[in-house]
Structure 1
Amino acid sequence: MCFNATASFVGAGIVLTAGVGSLALVRDKRQIPFATLPLIFGLHQFMEGVTWLKLDNQARHGEVQCLTGYDVHLWVLIAWALFPLIVPWSVWFMERDPRRRKLLLIPSWVGTILFVYMMYQVLQPAIQVSVNGGNLDYVLPGFSPGILAYPYVFATCIAPAMSSYRYVVMVGVGNFIAMTIAAWMNVNDYASIWCTFAAFLSIIIFLHFWHERRVEGRTPTGSPPRDPVGAT
């Protein structure tokens, strides 16, 4: 998490558990990408915990709390490049309604374009992270988060909100609320704060698969596949 190493590791454990549970409930291979999201979030939180340990060690030795390197670049890659790519495509991949699948291609390709652009940004050597007001502040030179927030929100929030599955819609709405709260709390530490909130949306992802298994268990043998449109 953005607050300290202990919180990051505890959060990672909770989210990773949700990820394992989600994968265990999967019965359709098209759901696997969406079910892996909690595992990616959990790994992301674990990486931030390691970053906190390194920064705390610098503080104990009287050094300036500032880091750079491959692990910092990897954190930024996951947060700003991978999430806008995998979130919309994972929703599209498991969507059964043809009309919604066509519409979901729009945020999915927006996320793909953003992924390509952010991959270029991640290759810049000057990326660093420091402690700012008790939170982690990731700095990307030449990066304009205010402008890129629009395609990012479109890919990571609007795409899930377009789903025909109730809990997936909740992920999109919850993600938008998390982004809004993070921006209100601190603009400089926005990415780290949002990723903390968004990670716990993984619990909703687990609830989605748990709900689908319950519905599947109530469906009589030989019945046609349930239409997810308007599913509750």
Structure 2
Amino acid sequence: MCFNATASFVGAGIVLTAGVGTLALVRDKKQIPFACLPLIFGAHQFMEGVTWLKLDNQARHGQVQCLTGYDVHLWVLIAWALFPLIVPWSVWFMEPNPKRRKLLLFPSWVGTILFAYMMYQVVQPAIQVSVNGGNLDYVLPGFSPGTLAYPYVFATCIAPAMSSYRYVIVVGVGNFIAMAIAAWMNVNDYASIWCTFAAFLSIIIFLHFLNQRRAAQRTPDPSPPRDPVGAT
């Protein structure tokens, strides 16, 4: 988490456990990318725990709390490049409604363009993370997260909200609310704060697949169960 090492590791353990349970519930290959999201979020939180340990060690030795290196670049890559790519495409991949699939192509391609741009940003050598007001502040020189907030929200929040699955819609709406709260709490560190909120919201993905499994047990139809909006 963005708050301290202990919280990061505890959060990572909870989300990773939910991720393993989610994958165990998958019944269709098209669902695998979306089902992997809790594992990715959990691993991301674990990385922040390691970052906190390194920063705390610097503080104990009287050093300035500031880190650079491959692990910092990897965190930024996952947060700013991978999430806007994998979230909309994973929703598109398992969407059963043809019309919604067409609509989902818009946020999916926006996420792809954002991914390409952020991959360029990630290779810049001066990326660093420091402690700012008790939270982790990831800094990319010459880059302002606010400038990409709209396409990022479109890819990571609006795309799930366009799904025909109830729980997936909840993930999208929840992510939007979490991002707004994170920005209100601290506009400089909101990426780290949002990733923490989003990690726990990804547990809803487990509930989605649990609901799918229970629906399958109630019907003899061997095809993947669906719970489109408006169904009883």
**Common topology (TM > 0.5):** yes
CA pair 221-100 structure 1, distance change in 2 beyond 3 A? closer
State TM-score, norm by structure 1: 0.97
Alpha-carbon shift at residue 117 of structure 1 (Å): 0.0
**Displacement after TM superposition at 1:226 (Å):** 4.8
Contact 1:166 1:230 (C-alpha < 8 Å) held by counterparts: no
Deviations for 1:19-57, whole angstroms, at most 9, x for unmatched residues? 001100000000000000000000000000000000000
Structure-1 residue corresponding to 2:89: 89
1:202 CA displacement: 1.4
* Cα drift, residue 142 of structure 1: 1.1
Specify the alignment match of 2:139 in structure 1: 139
Is the contact made by 1:127 and 1:140 (CA closer than 8 Å) also made in structure 2? yes
Cα distance in 2, alignment partners of residues 113 and 2 from structure 1: 27
What root-mean-square deviation, in Å, do the aligned CA atoms of Structure 1 and Structure 2 show?
1.4
With over 3 angstroms needed to count, the CA separation of the structure-2 counterparts of 1:105 and 1:221, relative to structure 1, is closer
* TM-aligned CA distance change 1:224 to 1:56, over 3 Å: closer
Determine if contact 1:97/1:229 at 8 Å carries over to the other structure: no
The verdict on how the C-alpha distance between 1:220 and 1:120 changes in structure 2, with shifts beyond 3 A counting, is same
Count of aligned positions: 232
- Contact 2:156/2:175 (8 A) holds in 1: yes
Q: Secondary structure at the match of 1:200?
A: helix
Q: CA 1:212/1:185 → structure 2, altered by over 3 Å: closer, same or farther?
A: same
- Deviation string, structure 1 residues 69-91 (Cα, Å, up to 9, x no partner): 00000000000000000000000
Q: Secondary structure at the match of 1:90?
A: helix
**What is the percent sequence identity of the aligned residues?**
90
Cα gap change, 1:156 to 1:224, in 2 (>3 Å): closer
| Residues 31, 222 of structure 1: alpha-carbon distance in 2 compared, 3 angstrom cutoff | closer
Give the deviation of 1:227 after TM superposition: 6.7
Q: Aligned partners of 1:226 and 1:80: how far apart in 2? A: 31
C-alpha distance in 2 between matches for 1:82 and 1:38: 13
Give unpaired runs (5+ residues) of structure 1: none
Q: CA deviation at 1:148?
A: 0.2
* Equivalent residues of 2:66, 2:130 under 8 A apart: yes
d(CA) in 2 for partners of 1:54 and 1:74?
15
Contact 1:72 1:128 in 2 (8 A): yes
Deviation at 1:144, TM superposition (A): 2.0
Whether the aligned pair in 1 keeps the contact of 2:110 and 2:155 (CA below 8 Å) is yes
| Unmatched 5+ stretches in structure 2 | none
Q: Deviations over 1:103-134 (max 9, x none)?
A: 00000000000000000000000100000111
